[in-house]
Structure formats: C-alpha cells, structure tokens
Amino acid sequence: MTNSAIFIDRDGTISDEVGYVNHVSRYRVFPFSGEAIKLINVSPLKSVLVTNQAGVARGYFKEEVIGQVHSKLREELGNHGAKLDAIYYCPHHPTVGEPPYRQECNCRKPKPGLLHRAADDLSINLQNSYMIGDRYSDVKLAHSVGARGVLVLTGYGRGEYEYQRDQWTREPDYVAEDLLGAVKWILGEEAKD
Ligand SMILES: [Mg+2]
Ligand SMILES: [Zn+2]
C-alpha cells in the first residue's frame, strides 16, 4: 500500500518570494495557502514541502532560522485547520561556504534526493505524485522522477512562463494562477481515476 503526494515548493509557491528569508519576520505565507493545504488534507494525498535553503551554506543565516520559519508556516496553516505531512529542505550549496554545508549533495533541487527521502519515510509512489512550484526546475524535477509537474504563476512563475517558455523541453502538466488553483486541478485529475 503506497501513498500519493503533492510536493510543494516553499518560496514563491506557498509563501511570498522575498529573496533569502534570513529572519522569520520576513516570512509571508500566501493568504490562499491554508485553504489549499486543507483541501489536500481531506483528500487521500500527502502534502510535503520541499525547499532549497542554500542561504545556510552561503552563511546568510543559521540553520535554526529555517526551523523558526517552518514553525511560523505550520502555525499559520494550523489557523486554517491545515497541516503539512512533512517538510524537507536542502541547506547545501555545491561551491559556496564551508563543509558540511558546502557539498555536492543529492538533495538540492532539481536533484531528487528530497523526494526520495520523503518517498522512503511516507511510502510514497512518486509516479502517482505531483510537484507544484514557481520555477520550471520544479517541473523538471517532477518529470525526472515520473511525477506530474504544475507551475504556479506566483513568485518567479509568471516571468518564467512569459520569458522562458520557449526553452522548455517539456511543458508543465498544468499551469495554475496559484497554489490553490494547482491543488484544485490535481484533485480534479485524481477524481478521474
Ligand atoms: Mg520557489
Ligand atoms: Zn542538499
């Protein structure tokens, strides 16, 4: 018995893209995110956040800031009765900073390490899963593991969609205005099966 999941990028997707969130006070959850995650929670799918936080390797902030930010995220989602089933992050960078954060890891998206870790921990079948993000690299990551990829137009999404689309090797499975639209599309697809 395996689970399906919706993997969700953090900055630009569930919360505002403000550059490096080097202090919890900079972190802004989008107003629609609680409703979106709640919809996942009442479906059979798991909700899993996956985020690159190379600001740690770059020395812009300590790893504990990530924990503070994720506490704030969980609290705000909780206000809507919503919860993430798991959160995974990559604090590494291949060339900047000091070890252990400076390393050629397998978890910095679009590498698939975070998804594989989640798949092991939560018995997720990646081929029946989805990844939502505001970068085409998130869509590519989805396709590289056999999942479906949804681009949202929040964060970097609109710019990538308007100016980079001609370089895409494979279209996203869906392009949504925002996380809520993406989740509604996915749950509609799931209802077809
Ligand atoms: Mg992003
Ligand atoms: Zn990593």
State pLDDT tens for residues 79-90: 999 999 999 999
Residue 193 pLDDT exceeds 90 = no
CA angle 160, 137, 5 (to 5 degrees): 115
Residue 174 pLDDT exceeds 90 = yes
Residue 129 confidence (pLDDT): 98
**CA of 192 relative to ligand 1 center, distance in Å:** 29
Contact 71, 49 (CB under 8 A): no
Q: Give me the chain's average pLDDT, please.
A: 97
Provide the pairing of β-strand 46-52 with 130-133: unpaired
Residue 92 confidence (pLDDT): 97
**CA of 134 relative to ligand 1 center, distance in Å:** 5
pLDDT above 90 as % of the chain: 99
Residue 90 confidence (pLDDT): 98
- Annotated catalytic residue 85: no
User: Which ligand sits nearest to residue 51's alpha carbon?
Assistant: 1
User: What would the mean pLDDT of 88-113 be, rounded to a whole number?
Assistant: 96
Residues with CB under 5 A from ligand 2 (ion): 90, 92, 105, 107-108
Residue 28 pLDDT exceeds 90 = yes
User: What would the mean pLDDT of 27-49 be, rounded to a whole number?
Assistant: 98
Cα separation, 30 vs 147, in Å, equals 25
Q: Burial, 15: exposed, middle or buried (Cβ in 10 Å; 0-12, 13-18, 19+)?
A: buried
User: What would the mean pLDDT of 165-174 be, rounded to a whole number?
Assistant: 97
Residue 1 confidence (pLDDT): 82
Q: Burial, 184: exposed, middle or buried (Cβ in 10 Å; 0-12, 13-18, 19+)?
A: middle
Cα separation, 45 vs 165, in Å, equals 29
